[in-house]
C-alpha cells in the first residue's frame, strides 16, 4: 500500500505516522502542503496531528487553503481513502469532508494521556479488524477536541453508522475528556472513505509505547 502523509507548517506527527505505516510494511511519502498534486498511485492520504499554522484563527482553519488540499478533496471525491488524525480531523471538518465542527475542550485545558475508546461501528475499512463494543486504549493529545454537531446531524450520523469511536472508561462506560457531543471520538463520511478521529493510533502500535491497540486500526486500510 502507498501512503501519502501531508505536512504543514506546525505539523508534528508526520514522522510518527510515517514510522507506523513503514513498520507495517508500507511505502510512505511525506508530501509538503504547497504541492499541488499527490504522488502517483496513492492508496491512502493521511492528514496527521500537530498545530498547522500554529492553529491561528482556529484549529485547521488556514490549512484548508493549502494547495495540496484540492488534490486531497479530489482523491476523496473519487472514493480514495483519507484519514485525519487530531489536527487532521479538524482539517476534514473545516473542508466539509466530514460533518460537524470542533470547539475548545470544555475544561479549556490541553489534555495529553492514554484514554479508553469504545468501538461503535466496524462496517468500514478503517475499523474492520476490530469488534463492535471492543474497548481499546489509545493516546489523546489536544486542546480543541470538543466535537459538536446539532441534533439533526447527530441523528444522521447514528442512522448511517458514521460514529466510529466514543470516549469511555476501561469498563466501556462513557467518560468524556473534552465535552464532545455523545462522547464522540471519531466519525466517517456517509460513503465511508473519509475518516477522522482525535486519538492517535500511530502512537499505539508497539508494546514499548504502552499499547498496540492502534495497530489494528491502521492495518484496516490494507487490502
Task: Give the mean pLDDT of 184-211.
Answer: 97
| Domain residue limits at 184 | 2-219
pLDDT over 90 (residue 57): no
Specify the DSSP class assigned to residue 100. Answer: S
pLDDT over 90 (residue 55): no
Backbone angles phi, psi at 55, to 5 degrees: 55, 30
Q: Strand pairing of 111-119 and 163-168?
A: antiparallel
Quick check: is 188 catalytic?
no
Distance CA 65, CA 56 (A): 13
- In this prediction, residue 75 has a pLDDT band, given cuts at 50, 70 and 90, of very high
pLDDT of residue 222: 84
- In this prediction, residue 82 has a pLDDT band, given cuts at 50, 70 and 90, of very high
Catalytic choice (94, 120, 202, 219): 202
- In this prediction, residue 39 has a pLDDT band, given cuts at 50, 70 and 90, of very high
Residue identified by cell 489536527 is 87
What percent of the chain has pLDDT above 90? 96
Catalytic choice (86, 120, 144, 188): 86
Q: Which CATH number is 213's domain given?
A: 3.40.50.880
Quick check: is 202 catalytic?
yes
pLDDT over 80 (residue 223): no
Quick check: is 168 catalytic?
no
The contacts of residue 76 (CB under 8 Å, 6+ apart) are 45, 82, 97, 189, 193, 194
pLDDT over 90 (residue 206): yes
- In this prediction, residue 56 has a pLDDT band, given cuts at 50, 70 and 90, of confident
What percent of the chain has pLDDT above 70? 100
Domain count for the chain, please give it. 1
Catalytic choice (75, 115, 142, 200): 200
Task: Work out the mean pLDDT of the chain and round it to a whole number.
Answer: 97
Amino acid at each position: 500500500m502507498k501512503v501519502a502523509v501531508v505536512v504543514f507548517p506546525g505539523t508534528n506527527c508526520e514522522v510518527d505516522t510515517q514510522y507506523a505505516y513503514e513498520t507495517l510494511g508500507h511505502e510512505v511519502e511525506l508530501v509538503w502542503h504547497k504541492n499541488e498534486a499527490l504522488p502517483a498511485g496513492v492508496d491512502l492520504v493521511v492528514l496527521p496531528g500537530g498545530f498547522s499554522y500554529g492553529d491561528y484563527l482556529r484549529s485547521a482553519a488556514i490549512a484548508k487553503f493549502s494547495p495540496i488540499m484540492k488534490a486531497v478533496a479530489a482523491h476523496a471525491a473519487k472514493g480514495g481513502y483519507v484519514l485525519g488524525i487530531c489536527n487532521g480531523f479538524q482539517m476534514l471538518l473545516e473542508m466539509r469532508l466530514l460533518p460537524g465542527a470542533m470547539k475548545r475542550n470544555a475544561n479549556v485545558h490541553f489534555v495529553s494521556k492514554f484514554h479508553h475508546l469504545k468501538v461503535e461501528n466496524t462496517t468500514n475499512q478503517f475499523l474492520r479488524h476490530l469488534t463492535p463494543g471492543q474497548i481499546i486504549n489509545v493516546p489523546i493529545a489536544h486542546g480543541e477536541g470538543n466535537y459538536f454537531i446539532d441534533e439533526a446531524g447527530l441523528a444522521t450520523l447514528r442512522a448511517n453508522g458514521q460514529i466510529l469511536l466514543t470516549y469511555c472508561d476501561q469498563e466501556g462506560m462513557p467518560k468524556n475528556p473534552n465535552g464532545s457531543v455523545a462522547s464522540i471520538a471519531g466519525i466517517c463520511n456517509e460513503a465511508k472513505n473519509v475518516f477522522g478521529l482525535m486519538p492517535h493510533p500511530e502512537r499505539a502500535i508497539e508494546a514499548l509505547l504502552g499499547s498496540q491497540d492502534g495497530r489494528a486500526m491502521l492495518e484496516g486500510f490494507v487490502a
